[in-house]
Structure 1
């Protein structure tokens, strides 16, 4: 396939670069309009809440028309705040964005917008005797507007991506492509077309060579390209990398990505780029805060899921013989053994001969290594369902309350899988294992044991409460999709 160097080819590439989907001008205009309308809706919700919880005469529902008339500057201030904090920049619309990752930026933008609205209101009052907005209304309006804008933007983004997914390809030598592809398939709104080879002799399972990037960008209408594993950065590779950035949005998977976390910081030393690694340490305060969150969340979720638990327990008891709960020994924090609790999903095996035989291939995905596909004959119909959506793990909230587990943490490996002596892998025993975690939202049993250990290390070394909350938000989607559940 020839490289496009002609005037016609250049025109084709430029036409390909036209903004589409999340980068279109229509999408930007929709953000402006919806943010403005969402600010009004958020302000009204804020007034309703103030009417319920306060006795201030200004917050009475009967004065809503008066308050809305004097809140004229609030939605304008929110839009100005969004614009000044780069809320409408096309360059910041990453495929990994969602309502949760945007929430901190939205909160900052709406807070700044509230400050702008108060400032404009004060200036208008000084010049024209315009009534100053009630500060309490602005503060509550900022909080409610942040949630409304986050929800509206998430819905708009989902609609746009369903109609026009982000078209992607991976430039890779083949060593990390499957790992990258697994993560990309977890993201909604992405169409992965395949791998672009770095070497001309590499033709297996590829859509082309990097020297054909211009033609490939046009043929597949690529929006974004990810550079994966590259053995050596030759001048030719660097030249094609620079050319790729001119054609499509480009991202680079860093080397040693298994140990790089979000807390790593990009700096430079006399022009030499350096990626500073955050020290992997969980302080006593972090542990106490996380434990408090675990107890509160476990108690609340256990009570909320009590009707579901009773229904599942009855169905298990009525449809098969044996106990309602499945118990198994796992290793927890500091390698202390504990008994994990789950709803039983299979018929009780009378002997070891009827159990599934694990695979000897340790590099295979966990569902193969553990012989989970061979367990289907023993699985009950209710067991298949609750295992697929993760409801079999509800009893583990009891493990959390008792202190042997956490809501979010490394996967609780069985004893036979926990004999690795490498300190790199042993770090997962520094924290309590979790009901959910990076492994849960990254593919579960579709991942290999090695990949799970890498995710465990990444979680421990980069832990934050904010990350725990994000994983909790991502878990329901992973459960409903049933990805990696066998």
Structure 2
């Protein structure tokens, strides 16, 4: 087979695969909107039932209000659904951007509450206030639950290979490589990089881990031949804005979507705002938020939660302490110097889960641990022979971390933050890794809920710096909730 024949065969395979993906995407498009509307109708019907029950309990009616409530519920539900549609609550593209989708639903709920409430007042309609308030109190959580379940279901389906979209990335090698690595890691987004178009064309194939289909000057011919679902333009993919605009004109009649990725990565959605001004798509970005992660509100939350938890679990702490002492008679608490905020050392507390001379034999085990995990900075290994029988159980469910609540009360740590590092690890940090030291370390964090011990060093640094740069109180709450699931699943705990 000649090279030309091989290229034609590969292009035919790509078109066939793309056709299958497009049919799957079309099915998703047809199913998503009706499914969201039906789910919302059921949610609002349930909210109406809850509101009626509350009305009956709080203020027993003087007469039979069922007919009045039924008609009012129908009108309010239709108005609510219309508000959701107008304010973007049914935008399928937002399913991959949870916060924006949730905000749209909440904004629509607020608008429906205000408009319907005003109409009821102005028209002097006969409607129970208790029913009205209960209806709009029960509705938003149910609507948000719908979006959450739909996002989870779609993400799971995409991870399993369904509803995926083929993408050709256009741009320089470095930018295309970075984008490809991110999309490969975040499979729930549903994008498959099937090829790249770079300035050097085929000559760049050996330097990139994905097929290079040609040079940027041949982009239109490549797009017509490969027929991807999306063209993804990275930073610097075209020499000028005018050239990009002309390329978009030529793609106007193709059934190909366009994604433009600016030279920004690891930035949360709430730090970025896009405002088209004078024809320029200006992207406004808030500065990193390391200083905000040190605010007194976060510290107050840490102190209150840590104090309450210590009071509630004190019997459990006593049982664990007795079990450790009964096993080998050694100390209950393991104390170790760790590096905290701004590089300051502090005494880190854990329940002892290893033999009493664990630190003495650690040096000879470092090489074995590196071979086990491929992590040359953090010492962590599966099936560590130094772990005791009770220690293995404590580690599996992260119970050995509970004494760190005292570190939180003392101000050495926070409930949520980067992993507290050893001094020897910090000595090997590069500039990016040192960014982790700008905030207090945490008992849990993004590393905890994203794999813990199974993460590579690069992923650990990436997650921790993302947390530092994009801190928000909402993110802390989400991490705490996800921690419960991670602990029960015991993923990466060893």
Provide TM-score, normalisation by structure 1.
0.74
Report the counterpart of residue 79 of structure 1 in structure 2. Answer: 81
- For residues 5 and 481 of structure 1, what CA distance do their matches in structure 2 show? 43
Counterpart of 2:50 (choices 45, 50, 71) is 45
- Higher gyration radius (CA): 2
Query: Does residue 326 in structure 1 map to residue 345 in structure 2?
Result: no
Report the counterpart of residue 164 of structure 2 in structure 1. Answer: 167
**How far did 1:35 drift?**
0.6
Counterpart of 2:354 (choices 323, 346, 352) is 346
- For residues 369 and 287 of structure 1, what CA distance do their matches in structure 2 show? 30
For the Cα contact (< 8 Å) 1:167–1:193, is it kept in 2? Answer: yes
**How far did 1:468 drift?**
2.1
Question: What are the residue-to-residue correspondences of 1:203-214 with 2, within 5 Å?
Answer: 208-210=211-213
Stretches of structure 1 lacking an aligned partner (at least 5 in a row): none
**How far did 1:191 drift?**
6.4
- For residues 242 and 343 of structure 1, what CA distance do their matches in structure 2 show? 65
- For residues 307 and 256 of structure 2, what CA distance do their matches in structure 1 show? 48
- Inter-CA distance 357–17: structure 2 relative to 1 (3 Å threshold): same
Report the counterpart of residue 148 of structure 1 in structure 2. Answer: 142
Report the counterpart of residue 379 of structure 1 in structure 2. Answer: 387
- Inter-CA distance 309–89: structure 2 relative to 1 (3 Å threshold): same
Stretches of structure 2 lacking an aligned partner (at least 5 in a row): 1-6, 215-221
- For residues 134 and 356 of structure 2, what CA distance do their matches in structure 1 show? 56
**How far did 1:142 drift?**
2.1
- For residues 358 and 470 of structure 1, what CA distance do their matches in structure 2 show? 34
Report the counterpart of residue 370 of structure 1 in structure 2. Answer: 378
Question: What are the residue-to-residue correspondences of 1:258-273 with 2, within 5 Å?
Answer: 258=266, 262-267=270-275, 271=279, 273=281
Question: What are the residue-to-residue correspondences of 1:171-320 with 2, within 5 Å?
Answer: 173=173, 175-176=177-178, 179-180=181-182, 183-184=185-186, 187=188, 196-198=195-197, 199-201=201-203, 202=205, 208-210=211-213, 233=238, 251=259, 254-258=262-266, 262-267=270-275, 271=279, 273-280=281-288, 287-302=295-310, 309=317, 312-313=320-321, 316-317=324-325
Report the counterpart of residue 406 of structure 1 in structure 2. Answer: 414
For the Cα contact (< 8 Å) 1:266–1:276, is it kept in 2? Answer: yes
Report the counterpart of residue 416 of structure 1 in structure 2. Answer: 424
**How far did 1:200 drift?**
2.6
Counterpart of 2:366 (choices 352, 358, 365) is 358
Query: Does residue 115 in structure 1 map to residue 90 in structure 2?
Result: no
Counterpart of 1:26 (choices 24, 28, 31) is 31
Provide TM-score, normalisation by structure 2.
0.73
- Inter-CA distance 317–234: structure 2 relative to 1 (3 Å threshold): farther
**How far did 1:415 drift?**
1.7
For the Cα contact (< 8 Å) 1:346–1:380, is it kept in 2? Answer: yes
- For residues 51 and 351 of structure 2, what CA distance do their matches in structure 1 show? 43
User: What is the root-mean-square deviation of aligned Cα atoms in Å?
Assistant: 4.8
- For residues 68 and 430 of structure 2, what CA distance do their matches in structure 1 show? 68
Query: Does residue 88 in structure 1 map to residue 90 in structure 2?
Result: yes
For the Cα contact (< 8 Å) 2:354–2:391, is it kept in 1? Answer: yes
Counterpart of 2:444 (choices 436, 450, 463) is 436
The count of aligned residue pairs is 464
